[in-house]
Amino acid sequence: MKIISVLVLACFVLSLAPASLVVAGSSEEDAMKARHKREEIDLETKDTLARLFKESPVAKELFDKAYGYAVFDNLKVSFMVSGGVGSGVAVEKRSEKRTYMNMGTGGIGLGLGGKKYQVVFLFEAEKPFREFVDKGWAADASAGAVVGKQSVNVQARFVNGIAVYQLAGGGIMVQADIAGAKFWKNDKLNGTAGEAAK
């Protein structure tokens, strides 16, 4: 009787093993994907900032004064209506703590096609940075655009504690045209590993 009980228990344990391995494998795979995505975002952020500083020394001056910054990469597609999705990271400069975030856009579009661009936020102080990260942010219709290198060089100050730049193929836009855009935390990328990433 004891032998039969042991055999039944062994069969039961063995039947559970593959399922637990699948769960563990899936968890490890998700963690690997999240790590890869964070690395991809960090590399894109580095490249975007390098381009911004090269094209606008004034932006570099504001960056040096800033409490923190956030950089997003977005793809916007138009077909009667327009929408876009993107991802990015907000960084507190002193601690280098990173919070990975999402970006979404929507609106009415008359054209057909897609546009890839980057958005850079510079935050003058802790309060606007924390509000952006913790509460998210939605750009209203007043988020207008001023285009051209002359305008970029004139933009030497923060407006309401924030300076915003949009980088596309044609150059930089100051106080970028991001009306209808929303920004919020990416829960999948912000586990313990995400917050610890530097």
Q: Is residue 107 in a domain?
A: yes
Domain limits at 124? 41-196
In a domain, 104, yes or no: yes
pLDDT for the residue 49: 97
Low-confidence ranges of the chain (pLDDT < 50): 1-25, 79-81, 110-112, 141-150, 154, 175, 193-198
Q: Assess contact for 188 and 34: CB atoms under 8 A.
A: yes
Residue 92 and residue 150: Cα distance in Å, rounded?
29
* N-to-C CA span, the chain: 59
Evaluate whether residue 5 is within a structural domain. Answer: no
What's the domain count of the chain? 1
Q: What pLDDT is recorded for position 68? A: 98
d(C-alpha 147, C-alpha 108), whole Å:
21
pTM passes above 0.95: no
Tens digits of per-residue pLDDT, 176-190? Answer: 556 678 999 999 999
Asked if 153 and 58 count as a contact pair (C-beta separation under 8 A), the reply is: yes
Asked whether residue 16 is domain-assigned, the answer is: no
Q: Is residue 117 part of a domain?
A: yes
Chain CA centroid to CA 34, Å = 13
pLDDT for position 149: 47
Residue 76 has what pLDDT? Answer: 63
In a domain, 22, yes or no: no
Q: Residue 13: inside a domain, yes or no?
A: no
149, part of any domain: yes
In terms of Cα–Cα distance, which of 176, 177, 178, 171 is closest to 52? 171
Query: What is the per-residue pLDDT for 183?
Result: 93
Task: Report whether 68 contacts 120 (CB < 8 A).
Answer: no
